[in-house]
Amino acid sequence: MRRVVLGVGNPLRRDDGVGVEVAAGVRGTDWEVLTAGLSVENALGIVHRIAPDLLVVVDAAEMGLPPGSVRRLPLAAGEQMLGSTHGLPLPFLLSTVRGCVGEIVLIGIQPADRSLGEGLTPAACAAASEVVACLRNDDLKRIPPLLSPD
């Protein structure tokens, strides 16, 4: 089974780089790792060539939750929560590879700080470690889904 982690975000905007940090944390495992930074469209060309069974995309997401909260996001909800510092909306870009990927899992991490600067806040750093552990242990179900408010 081919599995790819795609880390998205801008490490020069503090917690916006949390997806890149998660990707770095799973290097050296049986996951194939891609770091998109801000150029998601370039990484998706590689995803298309790899045609993985599972694509896990990790990015900072404005979910209205406490900083450091981690959730599995429905692809449709991602458009409102992701991509504020990226070009085209991430769900739109992911739609270009749906035909060649078995399953896409979108993981959002609530940022505390997206201001200019390097380094994650403690909340984002802890969240990144949590996601890395889930990936290393093949336990993505441990990450709760984002529930829509009633």
Q: What is the dihedral of CA 89, 25, 124, 111, to 10 degrees?
A: 0
Model pLDDT for residues 61-110, shown as the tens digit of each residue: 999 999 999 999 987 765 555 654 455 667 777 778 888 999 999 999 99
Model pLDDT for residues 23-65, shown as the tens digit of each residue: 999 999 999 999 987 778 778 889 999 999 999 999 999 999 9
Collapsing DSSP to helix, strand or coil, 32 comes out as: strand
Q: Is-contact 15 120, C-beta < 8 A?
A: yes
Q: What is the pTM of this model?
A: 0.90
Cα(first)–Cα(last) distance of the chain, in Å? Answer: 37
List the domains of the chain with CATH numbers: 3-142 (3.40.50.1450)
What are the E-state strand segments in the chain? Answer: 3-8, 32-37, 54-60, 70-73, 103-109
Kindly give the pairing relationship between strand 70-73 and strand 103-109: antiparallel
